[in-house]
């Protein structure tokens, strides 16, 4: 756990970062302090919006498919929504769920829940009915906001749950829309709640029902860990392609609000449309998860060159590892603008790789920003300090969670929280993530982390992406099986791929089987579903 000197250094460093980014505008420190006070009262979403409206900021906050909406309009409409919910019995100790795409309806829900002191559970838009029912019951959800496209899924909830439509289509419905709820309500400021309701992020749930990772009151200084190594600045325009229910999207959205930025949103991700919107609105930043970035790059030069993205200063990617190949292709297409954040739903931020880091070492997770501390431990919980030695990754961060909503927790050592990953530092202090701790394959007594083999295969021009799993083997305990998505028009040649691995890695890391598939199974946030691959029936050619 960081000592007193480290805490003082972190605090001073965070303050410098916040002033540099414009989160505390200099010389108008009074406005910055007012914003920090509002965040303390209303939370990281509603606080900045309230402060900007009070300070007279005349700027567009959101541009979605309905058009632009200003910070002042968000403030008034969210105040009206709070009053509507209070009349209908949604109290400060209530729990609300939201299953929404990226648009103003989700934003208003986030703001109003915070102002009402209501805990908000951000549901994954990829949920099926059983997952929604399980999570809603565990989290004690009494009200639910959803887009019309999820009406059938929302219908699985008990009739006692109050429902509101956040993105209403033309189809008739007995469920009121947020617009209907707001109509006729007062729009003046509402009193701050006695306690902050906070919000709940859900884990990726690749092995079962997602766990809830709550976020309550956090220090405004924690924002500095995102801003230390990423040049987000006041007044910029952000393209939010990543889903806002995901840790990547929600963290960057909170920062954008704090910085008074304009955030461009579109309900469904389309790679070319995303690039088009970046060009149309002259976006300074683009927030994605790695699978989105892969699909954008796969558009190819002929499509990408149609759009002027020269104003783009930041491509912010988080949520999964970036292969060295993808890092190099992004730089070739957009220049030196890629920032790769490594963290998790539980720990928040661990490290950030800048364009300079990724040029020196493509695929690196980078270095810990201010207020974050990363250490490696072996299986006996001894600290690892030797470069290129793989260990379990533990993180201390001002935004780390305090335990799951069901009472469980992740492993902790000396105040640091496990990410569930293993990795190593190189001689320059750059972190590399070698894979999930539970993904390790023991083949013939040797430890193999799939990510190393996957990155090597993906680095080939004829391979779009690859995944490696372990399958039972009578002689070796487990053998490696690779699932490969090849580029269009390329012949399938498993022996050539095996030879490529054999010439670059140890013999025991060569996949015994190579299966060609059209796409890898992923969830709504792009996480690879290895369990689906393990259970996939394989037929011999």
The rounded Cα 50 to chain-centroid distance in angstroms is 25
| Residues 432, 438: Cα–Cα separation, whole Å | 17
pLDDT band at residue 3 under the 50/70/90 scheme: low
Q: Over the stretch 368-422, which tens digit does the pLDDT of each residue have?
A: 999 899 999 998 999 999 999 999 999 998 777 788 888 888 889 998 999 989 9
Q: Is the pLDDT of residue 428 over 90?
A: yes
- The pLDDT assigned to 216 comes to 67
Q: Is the pLDDT of residue 123 over 80?
A: yes
Task: Look up residue 358 and give its two tokens.
Answer: 């990724």
Q: Which of 262, 245, 229 is nearest to 349 (CA)?
A: 229
For residue 375, give every residue at least 6 positions away whose Cβ sits within 8 Å of its Cβ, in sequence order, or none: 383, 384, 394, 416
- Average model confidence (pLDDT) across the chain: 90
Assign a CATH topology to domain 444-535.
Answer: GMP Synthetase; Chain A, domain 3 (3.30.300)
A 10 A CB-CB count for 160 gives 6
| Residues 220, 106: Cα–Cα separation, whole Å | 23
The rounded Cα 75 to chain-centroid distance in angstroms is 25
| Residues 33, 21: Cα–Cα separation, whole Å | 15
Q: Which of 524, 528, 534 is nearest to 127 (CA)?
A: 524
What CATH class does 373-399+408-437 carry?
A: mainly beta
Q: Is the pLDDT of residue 434 over 70?
A: yes
Q: Over the stretch 358-371, which tens digit does the pLDDT of each residue have?
A: 999 999 999 999 98
Bridge partners for 332 per DSSP = none
Question: Is the four-CA dihedral 224, 228, 232, 234 of positive or negative sign?
Answer: positive
Q: What are the extents of the domains in the chain?
A: 4-268, 373-399+408-437, 444-535
> Taking a C-beta distance cutoff of 8 angstroms, is the pair 451, 323 a contact?
no
Highest mean pLDDT of the ranges 28-32, 100-104, 462-466: 100-104
H or E element at residue 155: none
Q: Over the stretch 334-348, which tens digit does the pLDDT of each residue have?
A: 999 999 999 988 888
- The pLDDT assigned to 205 comes to 57
**Can you tell me the mean pLDDT for 440-454?**
86
Domains 4-268 and 373-399+408-437 share a fold: no
**Can you tell me the mean pLDDT for 516-537?**
87
| Residues 529, 522: Cα–Cα separation, whole Å | 5
Q: Is the pLDDT of residue 118 over 90?
A: yes
> Taking a C-beta distance cutoff of 8 angstroms, is the pair 481, 468 a contact?
yes
- The pLDDT assigned to 209 comes to 73
Q: Which of 186, 180, 156, 185 is nearest to 168 (CA)?
A: 180
Percentage of the chain modeled with pLDDT above 90: 63
Q: Over the stretch 60-78, which tens digit does the pLDDT of each residue have?
A: 999 999 999 999 999 999 9
Torsion of CA 168, 169, 173, 175, to 10 degrees: -10
A 10 A CB-CB count for 448 gives 25
**Can you tell me the mean pLDDT for 502-516?**
91
Q: Is the pLDDT of residue 470 over 60?
A: yes
| Residues 352, 340: Cα–Cα separation, whole Å | 6
**Can you tell me the mean pLDDT for 216-240?**
84
Is there a cis peptide before residue 27, judged by omega within 30 degrees of 0?
A: yes
A 10 A CB-CB count for 296 gives 25
Q: Longest C-alpha distance within the chain, in Å?
A: 73
* Helix ranges, 228-362 (H): 247-258, 271-280, 290-297, 301-304, 324-334, 355-360
Q: Is the pLDDT of residue 460 over 90?
A: yes
Q: Which of 135, 128, 81 is nearest to 104 (CA)?
A: 81
Highest mean pLDDT of the ranges 38-52, 169-183, 228-242: 228-242
**Can you tell me the mean pLDDT for 278-298?**
95
Q: Over the stretch 473-494, which tens digit does the pLDDT of each residue have?
A: 887 888 999 999 999 989 999 9
Q: What is the value of pTM for the model shown?
A: 0.86
- The pLDDT assigned to 541 comes to 47
In this predicted model, which residue has the larger pLDDT, 100 or 219?
100
Q: Is the pLDDT of residue 540 over 60?
A: no
Q: Over the stretch 382-393, which tens digit does the pLDDT of each residue have?
A: 999 999 999 999
**Can you tell me the mean pLDDT for 446-472?**
91
For residue 474, give every residue at least 6 positions away whose Cβ sits within 8 Å of its Cβ, in sequence order, or none: none
A 10 A CB-CB count for 157 gives 20
CATH number (1.10.10.10, 3.40.50.980, 3.20.20.70, 3.40.50.280) of 4-268 reads 3.40.50.980
């Amino acid at each position: 756990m960081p000592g007193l000197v480290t805490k003082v250094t972190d605090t001073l460093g965070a303050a410098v970062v916040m002033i540099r980014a414009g989160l505390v505008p200099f010389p108008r420190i009074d406005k910055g302090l007012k914003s920090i006070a509002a965040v303390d009262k209303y939370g990281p979403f509603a606080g900045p919006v309230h402060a900007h409206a009070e300070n007279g900021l005349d700027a567009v906050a959101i541009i979605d498919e309905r058009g632009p909406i200003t910070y002042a309009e968000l403030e008034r409409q969210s105040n009206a929504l709070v009053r509507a919910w209070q009349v209908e019995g949604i109290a400060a100790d209530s729990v609300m769920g939201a299953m929404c795409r990226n648009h103003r309806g989700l934003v208003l829900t986030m703001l109003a829940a915070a102002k009402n002191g209501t805990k908000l559970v951000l549901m994954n838009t990829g949920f099926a009915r059983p997952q929604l029912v399980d999570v809603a019951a565990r989290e004690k959800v009494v009200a639910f906001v959803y887009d019309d496209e999820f009406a059938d899924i929302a219908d699985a909830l008990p009739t006692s749950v109050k429902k509101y439509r956040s993105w209403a289509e033309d189809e008739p419905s007995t469920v009121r829309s947020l617009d209907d709820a707001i109509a006729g309500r007062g729009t003046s400021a509402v009193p701050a709640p006695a306690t902050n309701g906070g919000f709940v992020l859900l884990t990726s749930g690749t092995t079962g029902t997602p766990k809830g990772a709550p976020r309550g009151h956090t220090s405004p200084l924690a924002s500095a860990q995102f801003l230390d190594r990423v040049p987000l600045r006041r007044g910029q325009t952000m393209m939010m392609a990543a889903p806002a229910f995901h840790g990547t999207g929600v963290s960057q959205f909170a920062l954008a609000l704090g910085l008074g930025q304009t955030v461009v949103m579109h309900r469904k991700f389309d790679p070319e449309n995303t690039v088009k919107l970046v060009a149309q609105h002259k976006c300074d930043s683009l927030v994605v998860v790695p699978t989105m970035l892969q699909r954008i790059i796969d558009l190819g030069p002929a499509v990408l060159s149609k759009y002027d993205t020269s104003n783009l200063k930041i491509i912010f990617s988080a949520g999964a590892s970036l292969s060295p190949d993808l890092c190099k292709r992004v730089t070739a297409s957009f220049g030196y603008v890629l920032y790769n954040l490594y963290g998790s739903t539980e720990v928040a931020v661990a490290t950030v790789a800048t364009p300079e880091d990724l040029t020196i070492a493509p695929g690196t997770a980078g270095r810990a920003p201010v207020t974050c501390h990363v250490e490696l431990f072996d299986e006996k919980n001894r600290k690892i300090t030797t470069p290129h030695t793989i260990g379990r990754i533990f993180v201390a961060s001002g935004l780390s969670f305090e335990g799951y909503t069901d009472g469980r927790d992740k492993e902790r050592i000396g105040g640091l929280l496990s990410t569930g990953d293993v990795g190593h530092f190189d001689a320059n202090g750059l972190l590399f993530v070698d894979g999930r701790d539970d993904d390790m394959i023991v083949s013939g007594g040797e430890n193999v982390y799939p990510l190393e083999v996957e990155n090597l295969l993906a680095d080939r021009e004829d391979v779009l992406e690859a995944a490696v799993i372990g399958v039972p083997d009578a002689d070796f305990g487990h053998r490696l099986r690779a699932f490969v998505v090849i580029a269009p028009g390329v012949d399938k040649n498993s022996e050539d791929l095996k030879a490529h691995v054999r010439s670059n890695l140890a013999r025991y890391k060569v996949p015994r089987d190579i299966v060609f598939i059209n796409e890898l199974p992923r969830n709504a946030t792009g996480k690879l579903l290895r369990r689906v691959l393990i259970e996939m029936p394989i037929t011999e050619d």
